[in-house]
Amino acid sequence: MADNENTYLDLNPKQQEFIQWLFDDGNQSPDEVHFKRGELKRIANDNGMAWAPAWIVKDTTRVSKRGVYHVPELADFIETLDNEEVESATSEVVAAA
């Protein structure tokens, strides 16, 4: 599966929230978007969910190897944040001029 097929903005609000939880858990590299089922379950448990999200672990197209899932929306989310920071910094420079 190509990295650009699944985007953060295509997700529903609950799914976007899980991507934010992944990011907040320290997964902040756009190159590291593969997660073990146990890691997904731990992050879910830490945020009040009983199980890893079914939209990730039940989607066979996300399986990169046994028990490891590809979550490209995280890279898209990080890229979105990076773009917002650049735009914000540019706006501040323009406003200061």
- pLDDT tens by residue, 55-89: 999 999 999 999 999 999 999 999 988 877 655 55
Are the beta carbons of 73 and 6 closer than 8 angstroms?
yes
* CB neighbourhood size of 34 (10 A): 15
- pLDDT-above-90 percentage for the chain: 75
Looking at the 3D structure of the chain, how many domains does it have? 1
pLDDT at 89: 52
In a domain, 3, yes or no: no
Residue 22 CA to residue 7 CA, distance in Å, equals 15
In a domain, 54, yes or no: yes
In a domain, 1, yes or no: no
In a domain, 43, yes or no: yes
pLDDT at 84: 73
Q: Average pLDDT of the chain?
A: 88
Residue 66 lies in domain: 8-96
In a domain, 2, yes or no: no
In a domain, 68, yes or no: yes
* List of residues 6+ apart from 54 with CB closer than 8 A: none
Token readout for 76 is 């898209």
